[in-house]
Chain A
Amino acid sequence: NAGVMQNPRHLVRRRGQEARLRCSPMKGHSHVYWYRQLPEEGLKFMVYLQKENIIDESGMPKERFSAEFPKEGPSILRIQQVVRGDSAAYFCASSPPGFVNTEAFFGQGTRLTVV
């Protein structure tokens, strides 16, 4: 049973370009979470999705950031018109159905560098 898969592992974008980060949850998991980790800081929750639904996006910046988890395929975190401050590690986690008493498993992250 493969773990949470994120790709790419490293992504370099110039300012103003778009960044697309992909996350394939563990088999059987229907909940996906995105977190961002700035250098020397803890992880910050961004968004929680289920298939075709955004459940909680309270941690998402209001502009330029969007996320989706389509019926088929991976979850995508999209950052439009990237700026240097978007440089960070972005982690995806997944968990099985059910709201309580479940643990989330994390991928190895995508390290975005904006130059």
Chain B
Amino acid sequence: DAKTTQPTSMDCAEGRAANLPCNHSTISGNEYVYWYRQIHSQGPQYIIHGLKNNETNEMASLIITEDRKSSTLILPHATLRDTAVYYCIVANTGNQFYFGTGTSLTVIP
């Protein structure tokens, strides 16, 4: 059952920042926010995850609101290869994820 809400699709110009929002208003205190993406029909690729602090790695930044009811994944300089379906997932123990339908991001040249 869906614990997150994401827009169905988004466009982003190449070279610009892509900001992908996610609502998870029913998140509980011990649940993490994970982001994965799936390019075409490949296996999902891990991007980033966090609990309550903002996180950054070589791929992206994750901004989690103070009340933890929503978050934003930021791809700082989108490239054509970032075109994919992006999944926001909340989970606690283990990695039994519910993927939902995600956001289909199209990076436009």
Contacts and interface: CB of A to CB of B under 8 A. Distances in A.
A108 B95 contact: no
B94 A42 contact: no
B9 to A, nearest CB: 14
A75 B29 CA distance: 33
Q: Is the interface of B mostly helix, strand, loop or mixed?
A: loop
Interface residues of B, number: 25
B101 A42 contact: yes
B64 to A, nearest CB: 14
A103 B97 contact: no
Given A45-B98, A109-B41, A103 B93 contact: no
Interface string A52-91: 0001101100000000000000000000000000000101
Nearest to B38: A43
Q: Sorted from nearest, which 9 A-B pairs have the closest CB atoms?
A: A106-B43, A104-B95, A42-B99, A43-B99, A99-B93, A103-B46, A106-B44, A108-B43, A45-B96
29 contacts: A33-B94, A33-B95, A42-B99, A42-B102, A43-B44, A45-B96, A48-B95, A48-B96, A56-B96, A58-B96, A89-B41, A91-B44, A93-B43, A93-B44, A95-B95, A100-B30, A100-B32, A100-B93, A101-B32, A101-B49, A101-B51, A102-B95, A103-B34, A103-B95, A106-B43, A108-B43, A109-B41, A109-B42, A109-B43
